[in-house]
Structure 1
Amino acid sequence: PIYYEITSLLVSKATEQLNTQFYGEIFLAISDHIAFAIKRKKEKIDLPNVVLSETKAIYKNEYQLGLWTIKLIKEKIGIQLEEAEAGYIALHLVNFSTKNSSQNTSKIVNFVRDVIEVIEQTMNVQLELDSINYARLSTHLKFLAERVFRNDVENNIDTTENIRDMLKENIRLSLCINRIKKRIENKYHYLLTPDEQTYLCIHIKKNCHI
């Protein structure tokens, strides 16, 4: 009952703060998650959240509600859960929100993680997760992912050729864009338009300070 009570408080708070409604299944899903999270904590089983940084960047408000829930669990049950659980709770909020008609949340987060991985490896950098540039990059990738999963092909007319040519004078940046393009094409069966490549160039340039 206490897990359901915590979930009810969370859903009420989220409904008000996020200005949305939630599917009824959210009560079972989050109550169940809290129960297993506490069970894992007691048994000292660590379950790392490999998409935590992407979740924090893309779904900031939901993540803050996840942190609030962890604090509430500590107050009511006396058990301190890990930050990773706030990320999982955030994804539940997104998945069960009536605003999220696509139901592609986990796919979007993994898409963003895929592209970030290519950027960090190719540019040989560790991106600053708390920076405004990273937040803008993540948001850009989120909307790109939504287009990919809708198979929403934008106009293929190249309107930014001059800008892109200038940006791609940096050989490493050019390689990075080509690797991202290939990763998305092979894994998600979507061909990046010329303009999409240009906008990615700009975001990567800002994040890598080049």
Structure 2
Amino acid sequence: MGGDVLLSVKKVLNNNVIIAEHPDYEEVVLIGKGIGFGKNTGDEVAGEHAEKFFVLKNSEEQTQFMNLLEYVDEDFIGIINEFVEKLEKKFGSVMNEHIHVGLTDHLYFAIKRIKQGLGIKNPFLHETELAYPKEYAAATELTEWLNEKFDVRIPEGEIGFITLHIHSALTNRNLAEINLHTQLVSELVQIIEDYLRVSISRKDMNYLRLVRHLHHAIERIQTETYLENQDSLKEVLQKEYPLCYNLSWKLMKIMQQRLHRPVPDAEAVYLTLHLQRLVSTVH
């Protein structure tokens, strides 16, 4: 938000949330620590606060956020908002406004479950950390901060879920799609291990390379960004490494089914080379 935008207060919902009139977006929801304190209808919220609050412009997000206010404590909203502010500074990027609804709602219930002594299981924690290391580091910071603020011990599994929320808001990608990709990578790794009859240590550098490669492959398929045709190399690899070549086609079929997108033949070359390197170092 620019520092020169003047907004006029329409309604104060609590100390941290107000509804205001915006010159470009009509009615907006402003979230910021202490933004509603001492404010009355018609007051101006000047640009000097611009770094300190977030605007929800999307009407659907506004409605969802209003629903949040009915059950989430306003201090909690202030704390999560403060952290989103830190994230934007850290990544130097404006985050998708949905994070205010998605992350606040998710963490509110997660902390509630933890306080009730209920556990949190996350089978994709390691894959998530490997795929999104920067977001994972930021999520780790947030959990330490929340532990202090709410006097809880947020388990490690929760860091993975927060990571996905941060990644979703940074990339404007749908959370369900990111979850699907993480699960798909996990499933593909399992198929590779079964097919090659190997057990890859989750701490091994080869595992890291494999997970990253599979994530990149999925992204290439989703965005349909492919390099040149690899037909000549494909024939060589088919003869040289039939086991890995056949496995690469099996994996490609699964990706095609799950992603509902065609997988170009060139992917067989990249996958075969990757799998062959894995076989030669694991066996």
TM-score by length of structure 1 reads: 0.83
> What is the Cα deviation at residue 58 of structure 1?
0.6
Question: 5 Å matches for 1:29-108?
Answer: 29-97=102-170, 100-103=171-174, 104-108=177-181
Number of aligned residue pairs: 206
**Counterpart of 1:139 in structure 2: which amino acid?**
R
Match of 2:193 in 1: 120
> What is the Cα deviation at residue 64 of structure 1?
1.1
Residue 200 (structure 1) aligned with residue 279 (structure 2) = no
Q: Which has the larger radius of gyration?
A: 2
Closer, same or farther: CA 102–86 of 1 in aligned 2, 3 Å: closer
Match of 1:137 in 2: 210
Gaps of 5+ in 1: none
Percent of aligned positions with the same letter in both sequences? 23
> What is the Cα deviation at residue 71 of structure 1?
1.0
More relative contact order in 1 or in 2 (CA 8 Å, sep 6+)? 1
Q: Please, which moves more after superposition, 66-75 or 192-201?
A: 192-201
> What is the Cα deviation at residue 163 of structure 1?
4.9
TM-score by length of structure 2 reads: 0.64
Q: Which has the higher helix share?
A: 1
Aligned equivalent of 1:161, options 214, 223, 234: 234
* Contact 2:164 2:178 survives alignment (8 Å): yes
Gaps of 5+ in 2: 1-73
* Contact 1:18 1:61 survives alignment (8 Å): no
Distance 1:156 1:11 in 2: 43
> What is the Cα deviation at residue 142 of structure 1?
1.7
Aligned equivalent of 1:21, options 94, 112, 118: 94
Match of 1:181 in 2: 252
Closer, same or farther: CA 5–132 of 1 in aligned 2, 3 Å: farther
Distance 2:85 2:273 in 1: 40
Q: Which has the higher strand share?
A: 2
Match of 2:17 in 1: none
> What is the Cα deviation at residue 29 of structure 1?
1.7
